[in-house]
């Protein structure tokens, strides 16, 4: 009998703790996150340029990691969503130059390249979905130098895996779609294709959380941009508990000539164009931006881990907030 009472007391304690846990600060598996970042930004990925071997290798790596974390693919055929893109005329010549192009480029042949988004999904209680994006591609190899793109955007692609891992163990109300999209650097081709061939109806997408450059800032400053367009998304950010990150707003006002407007700066633009609200998380440009020196060594590791846990917390807040809002 004594044992029985002891068991009941234990059970009450455990259940009590579980109830409380949804308000607790999030701990990210730092080792796993940094390992993924290191692999994606490694020299062997050759800068991950659209249509190159290093880019395909990155797609396969991400697909395999989602799989081993037990996150379901978003498509019946798997998590990799292939799509063709044809370069013609000047863009073909810029990308794959021939030696004697005619003035009107009539002798430049078209080239079709296969791209690939890596898309996984956690089904929620609701059909309504939050799409979390981070582009997997970068600038490749130029004049013999590898552009590793550790901050841009191995940080965002690696973060997708950690975020998915968190919500696998903490069931969301919304369906969450994790999309490592291709070809952001040449005009968000992958994100555009994803939204034209979406695994869920576009009218069910209530929010895009886009991540592009999360790990390089010496002052621990991270921006959440988009509130100028979607001011009702502010409250959940105000409720965040992370104290180690200096979370700033802005870079979203087209009428402010003094501050660069990031509204169309990354993949969130594809959602915004379709009138789907977005929040974009990213750091300000830095000295290694779009240079071969954007390497794993340059990442502010502690800041990056904190940034990812803050974004998880933000998604958790939006997951509750947007459910309640749609009831109003």
Could you list the residues that contact Zn ion (CB under 5 A)? Answer: 152-153, 212
- Of 268 and 316, CB closest to Zn ion: 268
- Rank residues 153 and 175 by Cβ distance to Zn ion and give the closer one: 153
Closest by CA to 74, choosing from 29, 11, 132, is 132
Whole-number minimum distance, CB 200 to Zn ion, in Å?
25
Q: Which is nearer to Zn ion, 224 or 240 (CB)?
A: 224
CB 250 to Zn ion: min, Å: 18
Exposure on the CB side of residue 245, measured as CA atoms within 13 A: 31
Minimum distance from residue 70 beta carbon to Zn ion (Å) = 28
Integer CA distances (angstroms), 24 to 79, 276, 324, in order: 31, 30, 20
3-state secondary structure of 15: helix
Residue 79 or 188 having the CB closest to Zn ion:
188
Pick between residue 153 and residue 300 the one whose CB is nearest to Zn ion.
153
Beta carbon of residue 134, minimum distance to Zn ion (angstroms, whole number): 9
Q: Report, in Å, the least distance between residue 168 CB and Zn ion.
A: 26
User: For residues 83 and 280, which CB has a smaller minimum distance to Zn ion in the complex?
Assistant: 280
> What's the 3-state SS for the chain?
CHHHHHHHHHHHHHHHHHHHHCCCCCCCCHHHHHHHHHHHCCHHHHHHCCCCHHHHHHHHHHHHHHHHCCCEECECCECEEEEEEEECHHHHHHHCCCCCCCCCCCCCCCEEEEEEEEEEEECCCCCCEEEEEEECCCCEEECCEEECCHHHHHHHHHHHHHHHHHHHHCCCCCEEEEEEECCCCCCCHHHHHHHHCCCCCHHHEEEEEEECCCCCCCCCEEEEECCCCCHHHHHHHHCCCCCCCEEEECCCCCCCCCCCCCCCCCCHHHHHHCCCCEEEEECCCCCCCCCCCCCHHHCCHHHHHHHHHHHHHHHHHHHHHHHHHHHC
CB of 156 to Zn ion, least distance (A): 7
| Closer residue to Zn ion in complex, CB, 212/317 | 212
Q: Which C-beta is closer to Zn ion: that of 174 or that of 268?
A: 268
Beta-carbon contacts of 324 under 8 Å, excluding residues fewer than 6 positions away, are none
To Zn ion, the closest distance from the beta carbon of 160 in angstroms equals: 14
Q: Least separation, in Å, of the C-beta of 286 and Zn ion?
A: 12
């Amino acid at each position: 009998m004594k044992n029985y009472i002891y068991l009941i007391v234990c059970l009450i304690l455990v259940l009590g703790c579980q109830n409380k846990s949804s308000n607790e600060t999030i701990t990210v598996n730092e080792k796993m996150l940094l390992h993924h970042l290191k692999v994606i930004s490694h020299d062997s990925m050759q800068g991950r340029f659209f249509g190159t071997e290093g880019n395909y290798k990155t797609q396969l790596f991400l697909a395999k990691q989602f799989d081993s974390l037990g996150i379901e693919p978003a498509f019946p055929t798997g998590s990799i969503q292939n799509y063709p893109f044809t370069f013609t005329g000047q863009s073909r010549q810029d990308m794959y130059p021939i030696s004697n192009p005619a003035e009107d480029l009539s002798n430049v042949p078209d080239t079709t390249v296969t791209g690939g988004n890596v898309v996984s999904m956690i089904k929620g209680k609701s059909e309504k979905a939050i799409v979390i994006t981070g582009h997997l591609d970068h600038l490749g190899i130029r004049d013999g130098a590898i552009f590793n793109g550790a901050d841009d955007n191995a940080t965002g692609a690696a973060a997708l895996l950690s975020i998915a891992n968190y919500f696998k163990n903490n069931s969301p109300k919304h369906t969450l779609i994790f999309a490592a999209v291709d070809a952001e650097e040449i005009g968000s081709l992958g994100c555009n294709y994803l939204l034209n061939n979406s695994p869920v109806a576009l009218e069910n997408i209530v929010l895009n959380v886009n991540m592009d450059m999360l790990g390089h800032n010496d002052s621990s400053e991270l921006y959440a941009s988009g509130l100028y367009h979607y001011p009702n998304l502010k409250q959940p950010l105000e409720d965040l508990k992370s104290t180690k990150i200096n979370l700033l707003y802005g870079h979203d006002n087209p009428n402010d000539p003094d501050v660069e407007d990031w509204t169309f700066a990354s993949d969130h633009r594809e959602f915004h164009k379709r009138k789907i609200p977005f929040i974009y998380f990213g750091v300000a440009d830095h000295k290694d931006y779009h240079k071969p020196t954007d390497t794993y060594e340059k990442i502010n590791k502690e800041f990056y881990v904190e940034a990812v846990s803050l974004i998880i917390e933000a998604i958790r807040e939006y997951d509750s907030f947007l459910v309640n809002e749609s009831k109003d």
